[in-house]
Amino acid sequence: MTEPQLSIVIASCVGPPFILRCLASLETQREQGTLEFIVADRAGGEVAAEIEQRFPWVKLLRRPADESVPDLRRNAVEQAAAPYVAIIEEHCVAADDWIATILRKIAEPVAAIGGVVADDDYDRLMDWAVYFTEYNAYMPPVDPEMEANICGANCVYRRDLLLAHAPPSGSGYWEAELNHQLQLAGERLDVTADLVVRHTGPFRFCYYLGQRFLFSRAFAAARRHDVSPAFRVAYVLLAPLLVPLLMARTARRVVSKRQHAGKFLLVWPLLVPINMTYVLGEWVGFVAGAGDSLSRIE
């Protein structure tokens, strides 16, 4: 059997319509190379059955219902057979030339490639709020200051380096640490505006607040052992000040990229509770640890 040039990995947690839209965007690109598609699914039941029925070319890994997204991806990467692994988030759909762009980019040796996350011209302000919150650093065009800031929703890694430098199982959020370790090792990381995915909706307000809380709690819990007790105390005391700082940082990026400023002004009131929830999650994570947040992040 011919070794694939590229393995495409997707973690499946939410189910329809997200995972089905994501796979449908890849289906028309299957003939662009020798490819392998792996979905690590924790939703199970009807979701897994529908993936198998509609997309028989996908290798489906049935995983435990409480497995975290990073560990879903890790298990898929371990099963991958190609020298390079591309990761796309199930909330996203790939541009028509996504796979062709990756194959062109990996023709020359590179450790990792990051792309941009475009909007889906949403009808709902809540979906714009999610987009600005989650992907303000990855909106097109590419920010020169974010040269090695590779987004986990749209990325490619050399498989051997991914396995060698990724944090251990159960450690949660890993992109930032992984990219940092690759840089320390002197590896080449590229970010390109040519590699595009679109982030899709819809997201309900209360659902998203819950997800934002879980993510920030898990993220802070992963960091709490790497910072001093004094830093943790200072964070707990000064956490409320982070809300305006986070909003200002997002606004600066939107303005600098000259993208959707009008939409950003419209969703500004929604960003207040979203950022308050994020800070609250980090506060809890620093004080009490991750709890079961990792297994509940979708």
Range 39-67 average pLDDT:
96
- Binned at pLDDT 50, 70 and 90, residue 193 comes out as very high
Q: Where does a domain end: 199, 234, 260?
A: 199
Q: Which residue matches tokens 């819990």?
A: 221
User: For position 144, what pLDDT does the model report?
Assistant: 66
Q: Which two tokens stand for residue 32?
A: 């662009």
Q: What is the pLDDT of residue 17?
A: 94
Q: Are residues 137 and 256 in the same domain?
A: no
Distances, alpha carbon 72 to alpha carbons 164, 195, 202, 278, in Å: 17, 23, 23, 24
Q: Are residue 166 and residue 180 in the same domain, yes or no?
A: yes
* Structure-token pair, residue 269: 């009131």
| Closest C-alpha among 278, 254, 274, 245 to residue 139 | 254
Give the per-residue pLDDT at 219.
86
Range in 70-74, 122-126, 155-159, 222-226 with the lowest mean pLDDT: 222-226
Band of the pLDDT at 188, cuts 50, 70, 90? confident
The mean pLDDT value for 213-241 works out to 85
Q: Are residues 147 and 210 in the same domain?
A: no
For range 55-62, the mean pLDDT: 98
Range with lowest mean pLDDT among 27-41, 87-101, 118-132, 222-236: 222-236
Position 145 pLDDT exceeds 70: no
Same domain, 177 and 241: no
Co-location of 41 and 181 in the same domain = yes
Residue 294 above 90 pLDDT?
A: no
pLDDT-wise least confident of 49-53, 143-147, 279-283: 143-147
Domain count, the chain: 2
Lowest mean pLDDT among 8-22, 89-103, 131-145: 131-145
Say yes or no to pLDDT of 59 above 90: yes
215-237 average pLDDT score: 83
For 288, the domain range is: 205-296
Nearest to 190 by CA among 256, 106, 134, 119: 106
Quote the pLDDT of residue 103: 97
Cα separation, 137 vs 250, in Å, equals 8
Task: Give me the mean pLDDT over the 77-86 stretch.
Answer: 97
**Position 154 pLDDT exceeds 80:** yes
108 and 40 share one domain:
yes
Answer for the pair 7, 84: CB distance below 8 angstroms, yes or no. yes
Q: Is residue 258 one of the residues assigned to a domain?
A: yes
DSSP-assigned letters across all residues of 89-156: -TTEEE-TTHHHHHHHHTTS--SEEEEEEE----SSHHHHHHHHHHHTTTSSSPPGGGTT---TTEEE
* Close Cβ partners of 48 (under 8 Å, ≥ 6 residues apart): 12, 41, 60, 62
pTM for the model: 0.92
- Angle formed at CA 70 by CA 178 and CA 52, multiple of 5 degrees: 135
Q: What is the pLDDT of residues 254-268, one digit of tens each?
A: 998 888 989 999 999
In a domain, 1, yes or no: no
Is residue 147 over pLDDT 70? no
Q: 34 is written with which tokens?
A: 């020798």
Question: Does residue 85 share a domain with residue 228?
Answer: no
- CA dist 227 → 169, 258, 291 (Å): 21, 35, 19
Q: Are strands 112-118 and 92-94 parallel, antiparallel or unpaired?
A: unpaired
d(CA 275, CA 267): 12
* Domain match, 228 and 245 both: yes
Q: Which of 181, 199, 217 is the last residue of a domain?
A: 199
Q: How far apart are CA 167 and CA 70, in angstroms?
A: 10
Check whether residue 249 and residue 159 sit in a common domain. no
Percentage above 70 pLDDT, the chain: 96
Q: What is the pLDDT at residue 48?
A: 96
Whether residue 150 is found in the same domain as residue 238: no
For residue 171, what is the domain's CATH number?
A: 3.90.550.10
**Residues 137, 224 share a domain:** no
Name which residue leads in pLDDT, 70 or 2: 70
**Which of 33-37, 65-69, 213-217, 232-236 has the lowest average pLDDT?**
232-236
